[in-house]
């Protein structure tokens, strides 16, 4: 059971990393340079987070089958747009909610079928 909890933590790490990549891009737009301290600091933090998340993923795969835990990565397709709405004020097309429901259904079916 703890493997699934760690998997969710990895998904959250990936989602946070995507938000930080956007923060990095916004910083680059503001400063005009990838090499500005502010931009590099956020980018570096993102890469560290991705590194930690990757190590966590490898540890998860030591205990779980890839086919059983990988479907959870699709949760990032839900978390990232929601976070983009919250942090950046981005808007969704109505189809987003249909797609989200389909992703959640797919995760449930995939996980249930793999037990």
Write down the domain spans for the chain. Answer: 1-114
pLDDT band at 31 (very low <50, low <70, confident <90, very high): very high
pLDDT band at 80 (very low <50, low <70, confident <90, very high): very high
Q: Measured between alpha carbons, how far is residue 109 from residues 34, 87, 104 in Å?
A: 42, 31, 9
Long-range contacts of 25-32 (CB under 8 A, 24+ apart): 26/88
CA–CA separation, 35 vs 31, rounded Å?
A: 9
Q: Can you tell me the mean pLDDT for 107-113?
A: 86
Q: What was the pLDDT predicted at 3?
A: 93
Q: What was the pLDDT predicted at 63?
A: 95
């Amino acid at each position: 059971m703890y493997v699934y909890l760690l998997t969710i933590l990895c998904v959250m790490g990936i989602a946070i990393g995507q938000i930080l990549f956007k923060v990095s891009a916004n910083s680059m737009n503001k400063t005009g340079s990838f090499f500005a301290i502010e931009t590099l600091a956020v980018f570096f933090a993102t890469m560290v987070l991705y590194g930690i998340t990757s190590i966590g993923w490898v540890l998860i795969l030591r205990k779980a089958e890839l086919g059983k835990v990988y479907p959870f990565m699709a949760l990032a397709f839900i978390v990232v747009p929601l976070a983009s709405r919250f942090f950046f004020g981005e808007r969704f097309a109505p189809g987003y909610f249909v797609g989200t429901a389909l992703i959640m259904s797919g995760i449930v079916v995939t996980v249930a079928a793999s037990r």
